[in-house]
Structure 1
Amino acid sequence: MSDTPRAERKKQRSLSPIWIVPLVAVLIGAWMIYDNLSKLGPSITLVMDNAEGIEAGKTLIKTRNVEVGRVERVRLSDDLQHALITARMSPQAENMLNDETRFWVVKPRIGREGISGLNTVLSGAYIQLLPGSSEQPKRRFQVLEQPPVAPPDAPGLRINLISQVGTAVSTGDPVSYQGYTVGRVEHSEFDPEKREMQLRLYIQSPYDVLVTTTTRFWASSGIDMRLDSQGFRVNVGSLESLVGGGVTFGVPENTAMGHKAKPNATYVLFADEESANEGSYEQYLEYVLLVDDTVRGLEPGAPVEYRGVRIGSVVSVPWHFTAPQPDSLSRFAIPVLIRIEPQRFDNTTEIIDTKAWYARLNRMFGHGLRASLKAGNLLTGALFVDLNFQKDAEPFKAMTFVERRVFPTTTGGFAQIEQKVSNLLDKFNNLDIEPVVNNLNSTLVATQQTMDKINRIAASVDALLADPATGELPANVNQTLRQLSDTLAGFAPDSEGYNELTQTLSRLEQLMADIQPVIRTLNDQPNALIFDRTPTQDPQPRAAK
């Protein structure tokens, strides 16, 4: 039993060397996963209204044409109103993601500036990233429908405009100065509570110096045609504004340039250039005209002129029509609210003394200053308010209408013409027409008799002309003229008749010379032909005393 072999027990190792290979593989895989994760950039979410052209795993995110991310997932939002895009960014793009970062889709577009994005026809659409300079990080962004006008840190000036509803201005429209594009509309939004449009403008450098504190902005509609009391006017803008509109600005004529505008300053956007110029007169005096004539053709904005010089504008026609009127005036007068704008006289931006101006106008009322309606355009019937002095104006007593001072008025040109025509018709009605008609009948009878005599004379003349002897009269006259011509030809200088006549005249002249002594003798002594001529004694000289 003792010779039976026994098994020998040996202590084995706890870990076999064969496990080294998978362990190394696991470590390498972990390192690769760590390395891969460490190189992954942040994940962002993009919100879009429409994910047209966006594909998961294919659509790239670029900035300056360099890939900085890729779309990983495209899905709908929980409320099904938007498309949510999950994108993985590269690590170098992490510093670009902040509050001022902008995203938009680059694809073929046809706009007012031309055609863009044609390079995506073959390669497909991609998302463009515009880095921001803010220090506040952000991971969720709203994708813009249109590319931004300029980067947030672009040199220039950004200002705000407020306009009424209906102004045709939208994002991307040009901002021009005297026809030259100097900026763009960055953003447009409608505020339903205030019922106004809020616009954000970018004026690029170096043109930002053109915007000052006295600058006025107005909408450019391309073609502006007007036919009003000031005539027919046509203004044509640039081709781009002709197609889609835009914004134009400038400083009103005879107005100081003012100081350079501050960033984020707020201005009012006027409907047109005329409204912008009128809006520069912020200080004014309000008066009410109580017009007894018709106001047809008088529109708000019509000029108020003094001897052809515009000094104000019409504000409202009619104004508080149902309000009680002063007892001294007709209850059927039409109230018209006007503004007298003293800034038109000296174009000053300083505060005017309204009390002094009211007092000055009151003194002018005492000297006969009156307002009347006159035709500014006979084609359209547009009226304007004319101020002038009337010599025989009735005294005016100061009064008010709905807490506004009343400006004295007089009848306008059309009313005066109508009154004159009415007076003329009254005079015609008061005339005693019967004697005039009787005299007119007598005159017509005499005229008829005269016409009968003229007709008889004309008949006699016709009979005379029809007589054959009258027809021969021209031939007889011609024969007589020929005979007279032949007779006169016989007395030509070289004819015998002329010579004989000359000799006869010479003999007659000699005879007259010979007979002159006889005539003198007969003058001295008429009886000398019968008696001898009485001899005369020789004169005796007188002796000296």
Structure 2
Amino acid sequence: MPESMQRAKRLSQSRLSPIWIVPLLAALIGAWMVWDNITSRGPLITLNMQNAEGIEAGKTLIKTRNVEVGHVEAVRLSDDLSHTVVTARMSRDAERMLNSDSRFWVVKPRIGREGISGLNTVLSGAYIQLTPGKSDESQDNFDVLDQPPVAPPDAPGLRINLVSQVGNSLSAGDPVTYQGYTVGRVESTEFDPDKREMRHRLFIQAPYDSLVTDTTRFWSSSGIDIQLDSEGVNVNLDSFETLISGGVTFGVPEDVTQGSAAKQGATYTLYNSEESAREGTYDQYIEYVLLVDDTVRGLSRGAPVEYRGVRIGTVESVPWHFTAPQPDSLTQFAIPVLIRIEPQRLESGDDVTGDIDDQAVKDRFEKMFKNYGLRATLKAGNLLTGALFVDVNFNDDADPYKPLTFDGKPVFPTMSGGFAQIEQKVSNLLDKLNNLQVEPILERLDQTMQTSQQTLEQVRQIAQSVNAIVSDPATQQLPSSLNDTLQELQGTLNGFSSGSRGYQQLNDTLKQLETLMRDLQPVARTLREQPNALIFDREVKTDPVPRAPQ
């Protein structure tokens, strides 16, 4: 067979068809996209909320400083239906923000004490705000706050804790003021059922945190404080915000040093008022019991104990252990009142916080009880309210001092107060009046009344007689007769005037009389010298001759 007539042989060769390149490339791209999506996705977190108002799956964003760092993927109820569980996907860069002290809250329109906030979410919708923490401990389950935090964790300032009794009305967001100026806010408040006390956390923003020291006192501020006690009426006004919602204010009491700067997380006591905060400074005291025989109506806990107007203590309890046995030396069932003598009130500066020698103070009081008659009495501090206070003073008329104890406490000797003394004097006066012999006095008084009645009858008769005399017509004519007589006398006197005839005759007669008297003078002189001259001749006496000198 010719070579051209030979049939060709089929050779088999295995190779990849180019058509498979496209699906393989698509698979690689898909795998890369899946891997990129997995590696670029951030962590999944769980947010616990009371309700999901304004939260929508796939729409609600999570932001930090107005930058999107995540979004809500699902919203559901918890298994026990007590709250809402929100599942959110965070961005890859947001993983470092999820710490144990990170905070979440919902930004939406709010009307609060500081005004209106969140108006920009009216159109865009609510979103969840994230404030990153600084803790090294990671966390993926968070509780969303009901209110925005007062300040971010990294804000400059001071965070402290307050402890108060049950019944305080503080809540998160209330202002913290210093002399009426807002310097911080209440961050949180909670109740400790084991210790039965309220715990509050405060944030004082910089630079006002330097105002808080270890001697600072905190007290509740209600905006207006009206006190009506034994010291009078006291009215204090604070800011308008505290008037509406209340708040906390602080300061350092008078006569107390400023102290050193407060530390982060320090714990203080929250007092009910500024007065109670000031009283809390005097933490060293000596307790005495007053056994009061008078009424204690008007004496209340917190009333002052004063020595000549200077406060030296406080009434602690009225009454105190009322059913405890009385000392045998007492004759009456007295009312026990517990008081505190606070020697720190008489100190100043650093001495207020210094230690007090209790035994030395007790010995000094014992000496004054025994030798100088130091006694305590109840006195009225406010006549309007009837409030009483304890007045301590020396009394020379005090009974001899006998040391007594009441239920383990030393007894501070007492005396009856001013009202009790007045009551005793009135009672003694009534006793004396009761012991008077009233019947003899009444009999004498009756006799005196009868005599007075007779005298009045005689006076009445005399008055009738005088009235009869005055009513007589002859008596009534006396004034006209007297007037006629006076007129006649006036006419007679007018007849002897200097120019009348009678006056001339009287004048001539007087001149003749004068001449006659002048002529009779020699005769009278002779008769005086020689009475018998009318019968015998008058003797002629010769001139006397003076005697010659011997």
Q: TM-score, normalised by structure 1?
A: 0.87
Q: CA offset at residue 285 of structure 1?
A: 0.6
Per-residue CA shift, 1:306-334, capped at 9, x if unaligned?
12221101111121222222211236222
Distance 1:534 1:8 in 2: 246
Distance 1:389 1:288 in 2: 18
Per the alignment, do residues 521 and 89 of structure 1 end up closer, same or farther by CA in structure 2, a change over 3 Å counting?
Answer: farther
Residues 29-178 of structure 1 correspond to what in structure 2 (within 5 A)? Answer: 29-178=30-179
Q: CA offset at residue 362 of structure 1?
A: 0.3
Q: Contact 1:98 / 1:134 at 8 angstroms: preserved in 2?
A: yes
Matched with 2:380 is: 375
Distance 1:460 1:327 in 2: 81
Distance 1:93 1:276 in 2: 46
Q: Contact 1:306 / 1:387 at 8 angstroms: preserved in 2?
A: yes
Distance 2:291 2:142 in 1: 61
Aligned pair 1:359/2:363, yes or no? yes
Distance 1:62 1:503 in 2: 147
Per-residue CA shift, 1:193-245, capped at 9, x if unaligned?
00000111111112122212221111112222232222222222221111111
Q: Alignment partner for residue 393 of structure 1, among 393, 398, 410?
A: 398
SS of 2:158's partner is strand
Higher mean displacement: 35-44 or 294-303? 35-44
Q: Contact 2:185 / 2:202 at 8 angstroms: preserved in 1?
A: yes
Matched with 2:194 is: 193
Q: Alignment partner for residue 445 of structure 1, among 433, 442, 450?
A: 450
Matched with 2:409 is: 404
Matched with 1:213 is: 214
Q: Contact 2:293 / 2:332 at 8 angstroms: preserved in 1?
A: no
SS of 1:41's partner is strand
Per the alignment, do residues 254 and 447 of structure 1 end up closer, same or farther by CA in structure 2, a change over 3 Å counting?
Answer: farther
SS of 2:429's partner is helix
Higher mean displacement: 152-161 or 438-447? 438-447
Q: CA offset at residue 339 of structure 1?
A: 0.5
Q: CA offset at residue 462 of structure 1?
A: 6.7
Per the alignment, do residues 382 and 519 of structure 1 end up closer, same or farther by CA in structure 2, a change over 3 Å counting?
Answer: farther
Higher mean displacement: 518-527 or 28-37? 518-527
Number of aligned residues: 540
Opposite residue 356 of structure 2, the aligned amino acid is I
Q: Alignment partner for residue 429 of structure 1, among 428, 434, 438?
A: 434
Distance 1:522 1:120 in 2: 156
Q: Contact 2:289 / 2:409 at 8 angstroms: preserved in 1?
A: yes
Opposite residue 157 of structure 2, the aligned amino acid is G
Residues 209-288 of structure 1 correspond to what in structure 2 (within 5 A)? Answer: 209-288=210-289
Higher mean displacement: 246-255 or 447-456? 447-456
SS of 1:304's partner is strand
Distance 2:394 2:309 in 1: 13
Q: Contact 1:103 / 1:143 at 8 angstroms: preserved in 2?
A: yes
Higher mean displacement: 30-39 or 214-223? 30-39
Per the alignment, do residues 414 and 25 of structure 1 end up closer, same or farther by CA in structure 2, a change over 3 Å counting?
Answer: same
Distance 1:59 1:43 in 2: 15
Q: CA offset at residue 62 of structure 1?
A: 1.8
Per the alignment, do residues 318 and 543 of structure 1 end up closer, same or farther by CA in structure 2, a change over 3 Å counting?
Answer: same
Per the alignment, do residues 293 and 25 of structure 1 end up closer, same or farther by CA in structure 2, a change over 3 Å counting?
Answer: same
Distance 1:236 1:497 in 2: 99
C-alpha RMSD of matched pairs (Å): 3.7
Opposite residue 421 of structure 2, the aligned amino acid is Q
Q: CA offset at residue 30 of structure 1?
A: 3.0
Distance 2:107 2:506 in 1: 130
Consecutive unaligned residues in structure 1, runs of 5 or more: none
Q: TM-score, normalised by structure 2?
A: 0.86
Per the alignment, do residues 366 and 30 of structure 1 end up closer, same or farther by CA in structure 2, a change over 3 Å counting?
Answer: same
Distance 2:122 2:367 in 1: 77
Distance 2:40 2:486 in 1: 139
Per the alignment, do residues 358 and 524 of structure 1 end up closer, same or farther by CA in structure 2, a change over 3 Å counting?
Answer: farther
Matched with 1:184 is: 185
Opposite residue 388 of structure 2, the aligned amino acid is L
Distance 2:519 2:243 in 1: 120
Opposite residue 171 of structure 2, the aligned amino acid is S
Q: CA offset at residue 524 of structure 1?
A: 5.2
Per-residue CA shift, 1:49-75, capped at 9, x if unaligned?
111111111112122222222111111
SS of 1:185's partner is strand
Per-residue CA shift, 1:86-139, capped at 9, x if unaligned?
112223323222122111111222222222222222322111112222232222
Per the alignment, do residues 505 and 476 of structure 1 end up closer, same or farther by CA in structure 2, a change over 3 Å counting?
Answer: closer
Q: Contact 2:100 / 2:133 at 8 angstroms: preserved in 1?
A: yes
Q: CA offset at residue 376 of structure 1?
A: 2.0
Q: CA offset at residue 526 of structure 1?
A: 5.9
Higher mean displacement: 331-340 or 36-45? 36-45
Higher mean displacement: 220-229 or 299-308? 220-229
Distance 1:116 1:354 in 2: 57
Q: CA offset at residue 497 of structure 1?
A: 5.6
Q: Contact 1:41 / 1:92 at 8 angstroms: preserved in 2?
A: yes
Per the alignment, do residues 144 and 448 of structure 1 end up closer, same or farther by CA in structure 2, a change over 3 Å counting?
Answer: same
Distance 2:91 2:156 in 1: 29
Opposite residue 109 of structure 2, the aligned amino acid is P
Opposite residue 356 of structure 1, the aligned amino acid is A
Distance 1:50 1:288 in 2: 57
Consecutive unaligned residues in structure 2, runs of 5 or more: none
Per the alignment, do residues 86 and 435 of structure 1 end up closer, same or farther by CA in structure 2, a change over 3 Å counting?
Answer: same
Higher mean displacement: 454-463 or 184-193? 454-463
Matched with 2:354 is: 350
